[in-house]
Structure formats: C-alpha cells, structure tokens
C-alpha cells in the first residue's frame, strides 16, 4: 500500500503541485499546530471541544485548515491543551515576495 507521505514527496517534484502546496502552506502549518497541541495533550477532538466549550465538528474544521480561527479561539485552544500561544511575524522569503509581484 502506498503511504500518503510517500505520495507527497513524489508530488512535490511536480511544479504545479509544489506551487499549489506552498500557496496553502500557512493553512497547513496552523492546522498541523492545532493537531499537534491536541495530541500532545492526549485529547480526542471530542474532549478538546468540551474543554473549549465548543463542538467536535468545530475542532475538526480547525484541524482541516479550512477555517481561519480568531485569536479568541486560539487562546481557548491553548488553555484547553495547556499550551502557550505565540504569534510572531517573520520576514518573508524572497520567493514568496516574487510570487506576490513584490520587487
């Protein structure tokens, strides 16, 4: 059986796939961080939802990367997983700037 990670590595060699993946990178990073925090806390989506005062489908949407959570939601998630929320600004990479048409 082929593993998703192996397919991803193969597909990243294709320019169109790589470009689409990198365009969504920020969403993947946030979704991955949400999943990691929940797993580190040893919680199911249902248990995390209960601690956050929300529902399991909301947690599933956070983990899918399909939504952009508010700062308040991220703070509730951090408290529920006993994590520290850190938000920072980093310089953009040159390739990001050129993709946006910035010189």
Cα 62 to Cα 27: distance, rounded to the nearest angstrom: 10
Q: For residue 76, report the phi and psi dihedrals to the nearest 5 degrees.
A: -65, -40
Q: Is 78 exposed, middle or buried (0-12, 13-18, 19+ CB in 10 A)?
A: middle
Residue range 39-67, pLDDT digits in tens: 999 999 999 999 999 999 999 999 998 88
Residue 73: both structure tokens together:
């939601």
**Digit-coded pLDDT (tens) for 8-25:** 889 999 999 988 888 888
Domain 4-85, what fold?
Answer: 434 Repressor (Amino-terminal Domain) (1.10.260)
User: What are 10's two structure tokens?
Assistant: 């193969």
Q: Rounded distance, CA 39 to CA 34, Å?
A: 9
In the chain, domain spans: 4-85
The pTM of the full predicted model, rounded to 2 decimals, is 0.70
């Amino acid at each position: 059986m082929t593993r998703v990670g192996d397919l991803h590595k193969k597909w990243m060699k294709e320019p169109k796939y790589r470009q689409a993946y990198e365009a969504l990178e920020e969403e993947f990073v946030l979704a991955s961080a949400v999943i990691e925090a929940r797993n580190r806390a040893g919680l199911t989506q249902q248990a995390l939802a209960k601690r956050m005062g929300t529902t399991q489908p909301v947690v599933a949407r956070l983990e899918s990367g399909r939504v952009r959570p508010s700062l308040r939601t991220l703070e509730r998630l951090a408290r529920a997983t006993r994590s520290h929320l850190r938000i920072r600004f980093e310089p953009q990479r040159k390739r990001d700037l050129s993709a946006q048409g910035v010189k």
